[in-house]
Structure 1
Amino acid sequence: MKRIILTGGGTAGHVTPNMSLIPRLEKEGWSIFYIGSYNGIEKQLIEDMNIPYYGISSGKLRRYFDVKNFTDPFRVSKGYFEAVKLIKEINPSVIFSKGGFVTVPVIMAGRRKKVPTIIHESDMTPGLANKISMPFASKVCLTFPQTLRYVSNDKGVVTGTPIREELLEGSAIKGRQFAGFHNKLPTLLVIGGSLGSRKINEVVRKTIPNILKQYQIIHICGKGNIDPSLTHLEGYTQYEYVKEELSHFLACADVVVSRAGANTISELLALKKPHILIPLSASASRGDQILNAYSFKEQGFSYVINEEHLNKTSLVQGLNDVYNNKEDYIFNMNDTKLSNGIENIIALINDLKSTV
């Protein structure tokens, strides 16, 4: 029997690519098991898909000083022995990891039990958890060709990022209906991430009078960020968060404004949506979104505005550039083979399984 352990957690970005693989794995007859943290975001997401879920101890691995740095290694050590026990019980053919600190003991345990292990790195530069895990992995899947320089030997494989199937099945008609739009103006979709973005929200709302002359606006602004004064503004609709509607909103969007998280930009690439990327600033992150965004810009996929340069003028200029040159952006996105990583990753999983 084909058995696979998926692991990944801590943020939605470390879970959703695994969720994208599950339907295809099930179609191919794989029995799927998931290892995550006891109470991480991944637990509810995976249990909602009726996949057997097992929690282990995990500790955060930090580059900075924190008193927990003295206790978390013991949690990681405990998680390692818990993972060894689970791997022995499940007896998988392959382990696939999307990253996050909970995955480190799982990958190390997989190496001890001689199970082929695959890591997926979405960003241009590997996160700390994946850096630690790479020596123990059989293969490392990558979104960006530039990331190959960080992977030793012949482990690196440029596969792209797996995309949720439901995002590819949206209806533009349903999207406009959900938004309550009736005229024929182009649609601008603004996505600030699951928590929204204060800066993006602020600039978009200041620029609304100019934008509404050319676009209808769907604004996903994050929890607690609804502006009541704009609730009844014609041509503008705002949401804290959307789930089922997202595929339809993406389908009806003519231009998208978004952060530059690896999963999000991979989805925009797969959907061939002309877009503006506003990466999270280096002061608020490790700089991975900036590297992601400029890689896409160099390949002709994206228009980029650095957060510190985002204002009413730069936003309008960006929208004009992207909309007026949308066919060029779409052509460049059509010319890449990395629009959806599911096929490449499934093939690699099957190849490793056949070598066991």
Structure 2
Amino acid sequence: MKKRIVFTGGGSAGHVTVNLALIPHFLEAGWEVAYIGSTNGIEKELVGVLASVRYVGISSGKLRRYFDWKNVTDPFRVTKGIWEAFRFLRAWKPDIIFSKGGFVSVPVVLGGWMNRLPVVIHESDLTPGLANRLSVPFASKVCVTFPETVHRLPASKGVYVGAVIRSELLNGSRESGISQCGFTPRKPVLLVMGGSLGARRINEVVRSQLQALLTDYQVVHICGKGQRDESLQQAGYRQYEYVTDEMPDLLAMADLVVSRAGSNAIFECLALRKPMLLIPLSKTASRGDQILNARSFEKRGFCEVLLEEDLSDTTFLQALKKLRENRSDLLRCMKEDTQADALTQVISLLKNTAS
């Protein structure tokens, strides 16, 4: 009988990309794969197209730290999601569950625990998010990306593995990226990405200073769903709402990267040796995890950091200038870093735990 694994995670692309890196390896090994996500989240867009993966949509709600009338109704949605996940898991009988986090993962982890199934969690950020913190008591192991995170977890559960990098990102072509964008190979390329949901403030500054940027760079701007500006059609400037298949080529041709500080994105840039200007999500809009990620990378000499509270047209251009001037030093530090083969470690841990 074939082994079976359930993946879960969603709400943003960062809660899906590690799963997408792992899924092909289990399919190639002959496992049956299912994915439990929300009925209409980004995870369904990214995973639903995989013909060999069974996608199961469940009800989910957001766990908010602030007042919102949905806080009254969402607990009922979460309860419904737990029941839906429990019922599917009891019928399908997987050997193991792998959770990448996000609010949709909590009902799945609880449903797995109720079915006495082993659960392995993956935490990308330096400090665990709320969904993962709620899930840790019901997990067998918790894989972490930053070594510092191990000390924030029960001693018997934390496993430092490093960053899981999608193998296809390592095979991008600079020439293909330049061809796709209609760029010239003779001018540096600046890649700006604000995450799968976009970054409105970064978008505003980039567009405000576009003419100044185009003096020195060709600009690829991944701006987020529904945030394209169709009035900006200029040579040397290419906009995308969100990128999937093209990402390896876009990263391969990028000389400098401006990004939020989500863990998956910054570790991918580190693996590809792309000097970064990180503009982490502010504390007013998050729990501050991206700031911790960015400061950790800054301390290790991998990036420059510009806090969103300090972001303006002037500071943005100044920070880019500093990034370009320090590019050689950043590249040297990146090349000296030796990353563990996290992908192999996680696959081995999942197979051993399932056994």
Alignment match, 2:309: 308
Matches within 5 A, 1:51-66: 51-66=53-68
User: Offset of 1:24 from its aligned partner?
Assistant: 1.5
Alignment match, 1:150: 152
Pairwise CA RMSD: 2.2
**Aligned partner (choices 138, 145, 160) of residue 162 of structure 2:** 160
Contact 1:36 1:53 in 2 (8 A): yes
Alignment match, 2:242: 241
Task: Specify the code of the residue in structure 2 equivalent to 1:274.
Answer: P
User: Offset of 1:209 from its aligned partner?
Assistant: 4.0
Q: Distance in 2 between matches of 1:7 and 1:229?
A: 38
Contact 1:270 1:339 in 2 (8 A): no
Stretch deviating more after TM superposition (216-225 or 165-174): 216-225
Contact 1:181 1:216 in 2 (8 A): yes
TM-score computed with the length of structure 2 as normaliser: 0.91
Q: Distance in 2 between matches of 1:110 and 1:227?
A: 44
Stretch deviating more after TM superposition (332-341 or 262-271): 332-341
Matched residue SS, 2:317: helix
Stretch deviating more after TM superposition (300-309 or 69-78): 69-78
Matched residue SS, 1:303: strand
Q: Deviations over 1:129-181 (max 9, x none)?
A: 11111011000111112222321122111223323332222110111112212
- Among all aligned residue pairs of Structure 1 and Structure 2, give the percentage whose two residues are the same amino acid: 54
Q: Distance in 2 between matches of 1:278 and 1:340?
A: 27
Q: CA 1:40–1:217 in structure 2 vs 1: closer, same or farther (change >3 Å)?
A: closer
User: Offset of 1:96 from its aligned partner?
Assistant: 0.3
* Number of aligned positions between the proteins: 353
Q: CA 1:67–1:310 in structure 2 vs 1: closer, same or farther (change >3 Å)?
A: closer
User: Offset of 1:320 from its aligned partner?
Assistant: 3.1
Contact 2:147 2:162 in 1 (8 A): no
Matches within 5 A, 1:171-210: 171-210=173-212
TM-score computed with the length of structure 1 as normaliser: 0.90
Matched residue SS, 2:165: coil
Q: Distance in 1 between matches of 2:203 and 2:109?
A: 39
User: Offset of 1:33 from its aligned partner?
Assistant: 1.2
User: Offset of 1:57 from its aligned partner?
Assistant: 2.9
Matched residue SS, 1:211: helix
Q: CA 1:173–1:285 in structure 2 vs 1: closer, same or farther (change >3 Å)?
A: same
Alignment match, 1:33: 34
Alignment match, 2:288: 287
User: Offset of 1:292 from its aligned partner?
Assistant: 1.2
User: Offset of 1:4 from its aligned partner?
Assistant: 0.7
In the alignment, structure 1 residue 72 sits paired with structure 2 residue 83 = no
Alignment match, 2:136: 134
Q: CA 1:223–1:128 in structure 2 vs 1: closer, same or farther (change >3 Å)?
A: closer
Contact 1:269 1:339 in 2 (8 A): no
Alignment match, 1:10: 11
Q: Deviations over 1:271-316 (max 9, x none)?
A: 1211110111111222121111111111211111111222344333
Q: Gaps (5+ residues) in structure 2?
A: none
User: Offset of 1:82 from its aligned partner?
Assistant: 2.8
Task: Specify the code of the residue in structure 1 equivalent to 2:169.
Answer: L
Stretch deviating more after TM superposition (270-279 or 185-194): 185-194
Task: Specify the code of the residue in structure 2 equivalent to 1:106.
Answer: V
User: Offset of 1:228 from its aligned partner?
Assistant: 5.0
User: Offset of 1:18 from its aligned partner?
Assistant: 1.0
Q: CA 1:56–1:221 in structure 2 vs 1: closer, same or farther (change >3 Å)?
A: closer
Contact 2:37 2:43 in 1 (8 A): yes
Contact 2:144 2:159 in 1 (8 A): yes
Q: CA 1:133–1:292 in structure 2 vs 1: closer, same or farther (change >3 Å)?
A: same
Alignment match, 2:275: 274
Contact 1:159 1:338 in 2 (8 A): no
User: Offset of 1:53 from its aligned partner?
Assistant: 1.6
